[in-house]
Amino acid sequence: MSWGLCGAALTAALVTPSAAQAAPGEQGPGHRPAWTLTQTGTDARFRGLSAVSSRTAWAAGSRGTVLRTTDGGRHWSDVSPPGATEEALEFRDIEAFDTRRAVVLAIGEGEASRVFRTDDGGATWTESFRNTDSRAFFDCLTFFDSRHGLAMSDPVDGRFRILSTADGGRSWTVLPTAGMPQAQTGEAGFAAGGQCLVSSGPKDVWLATGGAATARVLHSADRGLHWTATTSTIPAGDPARGVFGLAFRDRTHGIAVGGDYRADQPSPDAAAVTGDAGRSWQRSTTPPAAYRSGVAWIPHARATALAVGPTGTDLTTDGGRTWRTVDTGSYDTVDCTHDGGCWAAGEKGRIARLH
């Protein structure tokens, strides 16, 4: 079976896998994981992932590492920005437009937060933004199209800070904060899987939070100028808990995942759904069994999505209301493409494709 699957065929492959497709060392009794690990040649942890197609994907991770494949994961090229490895930059998000153009975000306090862009497949990179405010800590970025995008920082002076680009990430400006609601005490984003800031369509964007009394999802319908905040059903009340990842299949239907990232803590109600652009959220009736940091809709199957975390992958076929575990491998982030390619990435150099 081709791994560039779509819609119902992809869902069927997850629900009724064949043992012949098991990833080495990850097969349990009567169950075959749906992911097939690729050979990356590194043990970096990849929390940033951008799938362009079933053949092309980019991954960004620890120690300044950026990888790219153009042959479905058979070979990965190290295309890390010069000096990034030596400085041990923490790349946590990457947005790629094709095989040659990509924008990557390094996170951290002060000047550790940076943005780089390449136009030649990673052969050369240009640093297009370096944070000079010690109070800012950038977490995620997203693009509406190949020109317009946003990046977000944890609150500065009581409000989340938003960067905007209109030239594909070659230059950035800080947006006014007048349209941004006041942050809660302790509220922040989680740079856990590159999905704390996501967009759908030409103008809609959502921002996920945690760490405060409640975990919220903020929505803007004008590319980040004005925002409304809604309390999610995912528990917070602790710096380790909240909404970690978002995915919208269109401007109204979305899924939020999260929980408590500490391995010794439970994560009840770790997923929620919305059908009104995030104005309200409903608990998943059967949520994932543990903390999840990444989520992606499977194209051409309106109600099917995947959620990933350190303890496994879960599948929903009813729009996020109920979930079932289909894999026990550790992944931090997941992304699917319009031609049916799905990818996941995580710790110890793990990058997998759905087979």
Q: pLDDT by residue (tens digit) across 220-245?
A: 999 999 999 999 999 999 999 999 99
What is the per-residue pLDDT across 125-141, written as a single tens digit (0 to 9) for each? 999 999 999 999 999 99
- pLDDT at residue 302, rounded to an integer: 87
Render pLDDT for 78-98 as a digit per residue (tens, 0 to 9).
999 999 999 999 999 999 999
- Asked if residue 29 has pLDDT above 90, the reply is no
- In this prediction, residues 44-70 reach a mean pLDDT of 98
Determine the length of the chain: 355
Residue 92 neighbours by CB under 8 Å, 6+ apart: 47, 48, 60, 105, 106, 107, 139, 140, 191, 192, 194
What does the pLDDT read at residue 340? 87
b or e along 141-163 (b: 16 or more beta carbons within 10 Å of the residue's beta carbon)? Answer: bbbbeeebbbbbbbbbeebbbbb
Q: How many CB atoms lie within 10 A of CB 63?
A: 17
pLDDT tens across 272-301, in order? 999 999 999 999 999 999 999 999 999 988
Q: Residue 26 has what pLDDT?
A: 38
Query: Has this prediction a pTM greater than 0.85?
Result: yes
Average pLDDT along the chain: 92
- Measure the CA dihedral 123/143/49/330, to 10°: 160
Average pLDDT over residues 189-202: 97
CA pseudo-torsion sign 274, 323, 200, 156: positive
Question: In 3D, which of 101, 192, 188, 103 has the Cα closest to residue 152?
Answer: 188
pLDDT at 3 > cutoff 50: no
Residue 16 in this model has a pLDDT that exceeds 60: no
Indicate if the pLDDT at residue 331 is higher than 50: yes
